[in-house]
Amino acid sequence: MNSDAAPVRKAVRVTGTVQGVGFRPFVYSLATRLGLSGFVGNDSAGVFAEVEGAPAAVAEFLVAVERDAPPLARIDAIVSKDIQTNEIPGFTIAPSEPGAQRTALISADSAMCADCLAELLDPGDRRYRYPFINCTNCGPRFTIVADVPYDRPNTTMAGFAMCERCAAEYHDPADRRFHAQPVCCPACGPRLSLRYPDGSPAETGDPVAAAAAVLRDGRVLAVKGLGGYHLAVDARREDAAAALRARKHREDKPFAVMATGLAAARQLCEVGETAARLLTGPRRPIVLMPRRPRAVAAAVAPGNRQLGVMLPYTPLHHLLLEAVAGPVVLTSGNVSDEPIAYRDDDAFTQLRGIADAFLTHDRSIHIRTDDSVVRAWDGAAGSGLADGGVAGSELTEGGVAGSGLAEGGVAGSELTERGREMLIRRSRGYVPEPVTVRHQFPRPVLACGAELKNTFCLAKDDRAFVSHHIGDLENAATLRSFTEGIEHFGRLFGIEPQVVAYDLHPEYLSTKYALDLDLDTCGVQHHHAHIASCLADNGYDGPVIGVAFDGTGFGADGTLWGGEFLIADLAGFERAGHLAPVPMPGGAAAIRQPWRMAAAYLRAAFPSGPPSGLDVVKRNERNWAAVTSMADRGVNAPLSSSAGRLFDAVAALLSVRDTINYEGQAAVELEQLADPGETGSYRAEVTGQGPFIIEGAGLVRAVTGELTVGAPAPLIAARFHNGIAALIEDGCALAAERHALDTVALSGGVFQNLLVTERATARLEARGFRVLLHSRVPCNDGGISLGQAVVAGARDRAAR
Ligand SMILES: [Zn+2]
Ligand SMILES: [Zn+2]
């Protein structure tokens, strides 16, 4: 290093989630180590710094500031410029400007870091076995923040005065707890207790040991976590899992399991490379993976070949799992469809009849967040999936999009090399990180999302803040969570919406809420929102061929859509083609009872009557004629082009399931039935000069044909999946011919099905299409709000 060269000075600006994540002490120690003088500080735009010293040292600083940034930092951009040297020695941290932090970003909650874990397990440490240990690099964030700026008085740690030793750490720039707002210790911080359902304390020594005993006894334990209460049972005990199911009124929907560590997770499931990275990363989602036989009680995930597993993310989880020394069911603390309980009094009221004991504490949760759920994909299906690189290179040329990628790139860079993450539910550990978009929103937007798996989105400038998972907007408690969440996000990020975007479905509570506001309105068709969401997720403007396959959404013509090929950009769309509409006999009843869709599809596939002897007909003989006639006459049988309903029909035909107990259950189980090694496929006919029409009934005819000659169900299920991929390919090929487009966006809940997504992507890429998939928001209705927001922004820009 040539230290004789004349010193240089640079002004550096870092934007992104760079406050409250230890960025200033990091810059301080980096600059000090490199022998640089200058200062670092926070302002409303992020972190600013000036560094002065030998050119090589300054250059190294600029590289390291990005490369070695603290784990919770999410850097959007680093900009530097040369300025006059001033030869003032020393490096300092400048005080924050008061009131300047409203646009500063609050980071998501993060799993306990390795340093804190080491302290937790060190008998010599003053925080030995202290369940609230945290530092600048880890711990609660979003769930404890009540207001901005992100300072202790604005968090639920406000009531805990720091002791002298904690205060010393908090104020020491060289300490790894410098400005860690939730810093605390056994002397000054929150305390754990084990309580009976009536709230009275259990007379025990160590609450963790006593809680572990409750679990080992096969009883149900409520555990206060980061974003709410969980209900826990020993995952190996059939009786305990069954009791929890009965008390929670949850029939089939799988429970998630927490394993003590990665090695333990491998005993429960086949853990791929990508899954392992997700399991051990700071976000700690529930990762859905193929389960090993008999690893946990059957009642944990009845009839399911997958199991959702997560690893401990709080110090309390570590202590509890260590004490139990085995996998523990950890499911949302609620009764069936209510939101997860997060306030202590609510939890004791709601969960009294379910939990035998409560492991709780006195640090309140300010906002509820459920565990996030992801699927991992090792990119086995093919090239393009694993790297996402096509999109990347094109976007970087666009310049602006660079920031969007950088943001997504945090998750991306860890994962894109060999695999990818597919979000099913985006909540704890991810929220409130914004999605950075290519174009500024001319006016702040509130997007209200859809009905099921609701999220909302508040957007301003070039950022879209997609909310945590709110849930199904079907009851008062969820609706309250929705409206309170909107107010909270508005306050935290300083966004007062002037435009509200909403789904066209007039009966959605989110739509009614939107139309009651005194704001400019922007109605967005459901499937257009899906495709726009995928575009925003990829930092791409379109136009594209958008394939939106889902359960149902309100169509622009007032009928139910769900198997759509759209030519879409952010501002608008045209319906290029769709699945042939089929009646849904009984309306909503047809969604709950897939056998009704089998009846409707068999009618369409065999106008003169289906082959005799089909099991689905025998099982439902009593109601078959009535339902078929309902479909024929079109009475209480709305037409729908939904792809989800086609999956339902085939699931019932293959005797997977006649009725469902949770949304999408039949399709989930059909995917699991399919033999992944099978490559044969069924074909559906494509007709029509205007919008083309794909006859889904053709697949049903093929399924029925093979069924009647005794082909095994796993083979038929696989050929059906491949048939869906083939019809996506056919539709896209036709749309490409007519509209001269070569990029396809895949969105909608059907693409949670990895088999369909893999096979469709492989076929499309083999044809030379570039394929856009989701990575930052779910492809299901949880991603709708982002799509609505960017559509509103695009229309606002066009109107100016
Ligand atoms: Zn830590
Ligand atoms: Zn302390």
User: Ligand 2 center to residue 95 CA distance, Å?
Assistant: 24
Contacts of 323 (CB under 8 A, 6+ apart): 208, 209, 211, 212
Cα–Cα dist 715/678, whole Å? 6
Residue type, 101: Q
Answer whether residue 476 shows pLDDT above 70. yes
Q: How far is the centre of ligand 2, averaged over its atoms, from the C-alpha of 191 (Å)? A: 12
Protein residues with C-beta less than 5 angstroms from the ion ligand 2: 163, 166, 185, 187-188
Residues of the chain with pLDDT > 90: what percent? 83
The predicted-structure confidence for 129-170, as pLDDT tens digits, reads as follows 999 999 999 999 999 999 887 888 999 999 999 999 999 999
Retrieve residue 572's tokens.
């608008």
How far is Cα 198 from Cα 183, in angstroms, rounded to an integer? 31
For residue 133, the CA-to-ligand 1 centroid distance in Å is 7
Predicted local confidence at residue 98, as pLDDT: 59
Over residues 495-505, mean pLDDT: 97
DSSP label of 234: E
Tell me how far the alpha carbon of residue 183 lies from the centroid of ligand 1, in angstroms. 10
Q: How far is the CA of 157 from the centre of ligand 2 (A)?
A: 12
Q: What is the CA(141)–ligand 1 centre distance, in A?
A: 12
How far is it, in rounded angstroms, from Cα 676 to Cα 247? 36
103 falls in which pLDDT band (50, 70, 90)? low
Q: Is the pLDDT of residue 384 over 50?
A: no
Ligand nearest to the CA of 130: 2
Confidence at residue 409, expressed as pLDDT on a 0 to 100 scale:
32
185/250 Cα distance (integer angstroms): 39
Instruction: Give the model confidence (pLDDT) of 26-54 as tens digits.
Output: 999 999 999 999 999 887 778 999 999 99
Residue 25 is predicted with a pLDDT of 85
Considering only residues 400 and 519, tell me which one the structure prediction assigns the higher pLDDT.
Answer: 519
Q: Can you tell me the mean pLDDT for 103-127?
A: 92
Q: How far is the CA of 360 from the centre of ligand 2 (A)?
A: 20
Distance from Cα 176 to the centre of ligand 1, integer Å? 8
Give the model's confidence band at 97: pLDDT under 50 very low, under 70 low, under 90 confident, else very high. low
Which two three-digit tokens encode residue 790?
A: 């960017």
Residue range 491-502: average pLDDT?
95
Average pLDDT, integer, range 692-720: 97
Q: What was the pLDDT predicted at 155?
A: 94
- Residue 343 CA to ligand 1 centre (angstroms): 25
pLDDT computed for residue 192 by the predictor: 97
At residue 693 the predicted structure's pLDDT band, cuts being 50, 70 and 90, is very high
pLDDT of residue 320: 98
What's the predicted TM-score (pTM) here?
A: 0.91
Residue 336: the pLDDT is 73
Query: Is residue 747 within 8 Å of 546, Cβ to Cβ?
Result: yes
- What is the longest distance spanned by two Cα atoms in the chain? 93
User: 126: CA distance to ligand 2 center in Å?
Assistant: 9
* Separation of alpha carbons 763 and 191, rounded Å: 56
- Cα of 284 from ligand 1 centre, angstroms: 14
User: How far is 336 from 253, CA to CA, in rounded Å?
Assistant: 10
pLDDT tens readout for residues 392-436: 333 322 233 333 333 333 333 334 445 889 999 999 999 999 999
What does the H/E/C string look like for 291-340?
ECCCCCCHHHCCCCCEEEEECCCCHHHHHHHHHHCCCEEEEECCCCCCCC
Average pLDDT value for the chain: 91
* Residue 686 tokens, joined: 């494509």
Q: 209 C-alpha to center of ligand 1: Å?
A: 24
Which residues does residue 659 pair with via DSSP β-bridges, in sequence order?
none
pLDDT at 156 (0 to 100): 96
Instruction: List the single range of 15-19, 57-61, 122-126, 544-548 with lowest mean pLDDT.
Output: 15-19
Q: Residue 203 — pLDDT band, cuts 50, 70, 90?
A: confident
Assess whether pLDDT exceeds 60 at residue 99: no
Determine the distance separating the centroid of ligand 1 and the alpha carbon of 164, expressed in angstroms.
20
Distance 166 CA to ligand 2 centre (A): 4
Strand 499-503: give its sheet, edge to edge. Answer: 457-466, 435-447, 499-503, 520-524
Residue with the two structure tokens 């996506």: 728
Interval between CA 122 and ligand 1 midpoint (Å): 14
Q: How far is ligand 2, taken at its centre, from the CA of residue 318, in Å?
A: 21
46-53: strand order across its sheet: 74-83, 8-17, 46-53, 37-43, 91-93
For the residues 381-394, what does the mean pLDDT come to?
34
Q: What confidence category does residue 5 fall into, taking pLDDT thresholds of 50, 70 and 90?
A: confident
**Given a cut of 90, is residue 110 above it in pLDDT?**
yes
pLDDT at 263: 98
* Mean predicted confidence (pLDDT) in 563-589: 97
Ligand (nearest to CA of 72): 1
pLDDT digits (tens, 9 = 90+) for 607-645: 999 999 999 999 999 999 999 999 999 999 999 999 999
Mean predicted confidence (pLDDT) in 219-229: 97
Task: Tell me, in angstroms, the distance from the centre of ligand 1 to residue 92's CA.
Answer: 24
CA-CA distance, 714 to 396, in Å (whole number)? 43
Of 149, 774, 793, give the one whose Cα is nearest residue 463: 793
